[in-house]
Structure 1
Amino acid sequence: MIVNIVLFQVGWFACVLSAAHGWPWLGTGVAVAVVAYHLMRATRTNEELKLIAIALVIGAVWDSALVALGWISYTSGTLVAGAAPQWILALWALFATTLNISMRWMKQRWLIAFVLGAACGPLSYWGAGRMGAATFTEPMATLIALAVGWGVIMPTLMWLSVRFDGVGSKGAAV
């Protein structure tokens, strides 16, 4: 579990800092390497891959909506106008690697997932903004939207992690 947390944090900082400095592919590469390592260690790779893919789609839709609405803009890495940059998508895949390991304790604790999603989701975006990787055009409205969105997304991801658990009860992957 500790390795999973550390690798997620390394990937998060790599994505955010490299994007802030105009090298978004560097962080994306780190995140992809962590996801690949996680999948190599998974006991049921197909289940874990499905969870990561679904989380990636949810993230692509959510973050692209925030961009399209003009509430958030990213410093670098946007390949398609009005869409989330590739390093944000890499972060969604990276985040999905934590659902069946370091966040396993949150499974079927929907209220806790809602509260932590609503509180911690916006903090992650705010941190990325403070490091220069993103800008909020309407900071208060954006943070409220992030809180509401993540309040729904986090329990949804936890529900999906019950259905697609490629790690098993002992959390063997990292």
Structure 2
Amino acid sequence: MQVFMYTGPSANSPDIPPGNNPRGHPDALFQRRHDGLNRGIGFFSGWLTQSLLVNMVFFQCVWFLAVIGAANGNYWLGPFSLMVFIIMHYFFSDTAKADYLLAVFAMVIGLIIETLFLRTGVLNFVGTAPSSEFAPLWVVVLWANFALIMNGCLQWLQRHLIFAALLGSSGGAVSYFAGIKLGAATTGSAMPIVLAVIAVTYALVTPVFLDAARRLSDALQCARR
């Protein structure tokens, strides 16, 4: 014996033409929820991509303005553009607080490293503000600028620290070479030696900054729970 149970008209039944589902019908409800989920995923994906793009663009702009500004005697351009980046970073990053802490740490490390470069004659920077005994401020702010992309466009490297060291090594050398060619610094030794020292330095600090960024971000997230 067969038992038939009536559950109401289906989406494909003759009573309800396809595309004309009543809003209360289960198939229609499922479709609306599915569409809503897709829109949510699309919005989040677009927002995330936009945030990473903004992060990368601001990083490049700060570097360019700081270097070009210093080469032309406008030493204030670097610190000013960094302040703009810091303000905008608050609106585009979920890890802004951790990034700000890392930026302070990076500036201290950068001041030490760049001053060592200066004292040992590896590099000579244009400008002496705030003191001729230390690396100039426009150079130090570039380290904060670097720190602000650790949880941004470079976040994907946090789980690939060996590759991060290689990328940091090459990227650091290219960045300093460009700065020298633009007139923001001069070398105190042969160019290959200078670039080798810079490459080794950034091969070490890049993974450290990435790992510190991840740990700071995780710690602050746990503290909020």
Aligned length: 168
Query: 2:201 aligns to what?
Result: 149
**For 1:73, what is the secondary structure of its paired residue?**
strand
User: Normalising by structure 1, what TM-score?
Assistant: 0.89
Q: Is the 8 Å Cα contact of residues 59 and 92 (structure 1) preserved in structure 2?
A: yes
- Equivalent position amino acid for 2:127 in 1: S
Compared CA separation, residues 44 and 143, structure 1 to 2 (3 A): closer
**For 2:175, what is the secondary structure of its paired residue?**
helix
2:212 maps to which of 157, 160, 169: 160
What do the CA deviations read for 1:96-143 (whole angstroms, capped 9, x no partner)? 111101001000211111101111111111111110001111122211
Distance in 1, Cα, partners of 2:89 & 2:121: 34
What do the CA deviations read for 1:52-85 (whole angstroms, capped 9, x no partner)? 1111111111111111111101112432223111
C-alpha RMSD over aligned residues: 1.9
Compared CA separation, residues 44 and 147, structure 1 to 2 (3 A): closer
Structure 1 position 89, deviation (Å): 1.2
Whose radius of gyration is greater, 1 or 2? Answer: 2
2:90 maps to which of 39, 42, 46: 39
- Equivalent position amino acid for 2:158 in 1: K
1:66 maps to which of 113, 117, 120: 117
The yes-or-no answer on 1:80 pairing with 2:131 is: yes
Compared CA separation, residues 122 and 44, structure 1 to 2 (3 A): closer
Q: Is the 8 Å Cα contact of residues 73 and 134 (structure 1) preserved in structure 2?
A: yes
1:57 maps to which of 92, 100, 108: 108
**For 2:186, what is the secondary structure of its paired residue?**
strand
- Equivalent position amino acid for 1:96 in 2: A
The yes-or-no answer on 1:125 pairing with 2:176 is: yes
Compare relative contact order (CA 8 Å, sep 6+) and give the higher one, 1 or 2: 1
Q: Is the 8 Å Cα contact of residues 59 and 146 (structure 2) preserved in structure 1?
A: yes
**For 1:79, what is the secondary structure of its paired residue?**
coil
Structure 1 position 12, deviation (Å): 0.8
**For 2:171, what is the secondary structure of its paired residue?**
helix
Unmatched 5+ stretches in structure 1:
170-174
Q: Is the 8 Å Cα contact of residues 77 and 87 (structure 1) preserved in structure 2?
A: no
User: Normalising by structure 2, what TM-score?
Assistant: 0.70
Runs of 4+ in structure 1 displaced over 4 angstroms? none
Unmatched 5+ stretches in structure 2:
1-51
Query: 1:172 aligns to what?
Result: none
**For 2:94, what is the secondary structure of its paired residue?**
coil
Distance in 2, Cα, partners of 1:79 & 1:117: 28
